[in-house]
Chains A and B, each alone.
Chain A
């Protein structure tokens, strides 16, 4: 498959990249590893005027451990994150998520955390070649005004398919976004619009520059569970991430985030309210599983290679496993 034509820029500073982005905006996506962008271009899902490669911008790579947080620059390769000992110690669920992306033997050197965070949401009717798509009508993301998966829908239900997203949200990650208007911070959990046609709260002149993960205030447990067709290469079909800090046998801090349902990850606040402040109880796991299913029923549509019903059930299962892990329950998986 040949790529469409575009100009190529490889600025050596963030300022120069932002200046280009300011001029060209939405017609000039940034290029980190390209494992998502280049596929989109080959499939003619869009044809940019230019790409802005981040390869020469040293300030966008690296992991910094500070007194109260670990800061990961957005274009840091996944392999670097997986082998970082501070991240292994404080955020093991992130290592598991990173090692679930693509085929780590190849992906991890080009793929970046920013690229995974900003992975375009996916739909089986959208992520296809232009030739394949000529057999269907257009949709919200391809110049039309409807959703092929759920006709009559006013926005796109593509699926947030990034392994790191629920984990970064569960760890209360914060993003730094830079643009022509300056620099701002936003929690990961607030970064998503819930609309597949414009999934991120970011303007065309902006880019994510770093992700800040606050260090847990006490020893924490974390878990990430995902369902995939195969043990590598595939996007998650259902996933969930949880973190917990226990003190004196009670759950003091608890976060639960589910993804691979709709365009945005969902913080399961109802489950958090159930568990936070209480002693862990086996009955909570089943309750949380049903809460996850109920949430999924309102969000999941038929836009995947597996059925909506199965995805809803599996979102419940992945959520239950994540909760079971962080609350310290052993026993057979449900």
Chain B
């Protein structure tokens, strides 16, 4: 099993690595690139803790071979704050008490970002559908929903 060259952009930075064919994107992001904000929850593509944005689309990095991301642009939770300021969705999660243990939070935020990037005025149903693949064992989801609603409102109101 020969290693192959993987070239991709992660959080705006060009990256080139030799990876094994059987390495998942989750493993490469965490173990080789130190993006430990990408979490391993179930490892079988159900819980959403491993969610990253691949060319803007939320994907389960535990089920994506790293080599499948060759040439792609990835965003992890570490990549959405800018110049020391939290992303509006991150701030909304804090302001609305939507974080308890925090393990689901990176995935939740990235799935929410993908939603708001393509639908700036989501209904509650839209939000629930977008987040259906991200599980939370702590919060009971209500405050997460409130956080996404408020982030959508702020975004509409001209927030960043």
Contacts and interface: CB of A to CB of B under 8 A. Distances in A.
Contacts of A110: 59-60, 63-64
Contacts of B54: 109
Interface residues of A, number: 31
Interface residues of B, number: 34
A154 to B, nearest CB: 31
Nearest to A102: B133
B22 A106 contact: no
Contact of B44 (A2, A5, A10, A42): A42
Contacts, number: 93
Nearest to B110: A106
A42 B27 CA distance: 13
Contacts of B4: 8
Interface stretch (A33-41, A189-197, A205-213, A247-255): A33-41
Contact of A232 (B24, B51, B68, B132): B132
A261 B48 CA distance: 29
Interface in A110-154: 110
Contact of A1 (B43, B51, B131, B134): B43
A103 interface: yes
A256 interface: no
B132 A233 contact: yes
A183 interface: no
Contacts of A1: 43-44
Contact of A231 (B2, B60, B65, B132): B132
A281 interface: no
A7 B2 contact: yes
Contacts of B43: 1, 42
B133 A7 contact: no
Contacts of A7: 1-2, 21
B58 A53 contact: no
Interface string B121-133: 0000000011111
Interface of B: 1-2, 4, 20-24, 43-46, 48, 51, 54, 57-60, 63-65, 67-68, 70, 111, 114-115, 129-134
Interface of A: 1-8, 10, 31, 34-35, 38-39, 42-43, 51, 53, 55, 79, 102-107, 109-110, 231-233
Which 7 residue pairs spanning A and B have beta carbons closest together?
A103-B133, A8-B21, A232-B132, A109-B57, A106-B133, A3-B22, A105-B130
17 contacts: A3-B22, A5-B1, A5-B21, A7-B21, A10-B67, A42-B44, A103-B132, A104-B129, A104-B132, A105-B58, A105-B111, A105-B130, A105-B131, A106-B51, A106-B59, A109-B54, A231-B132
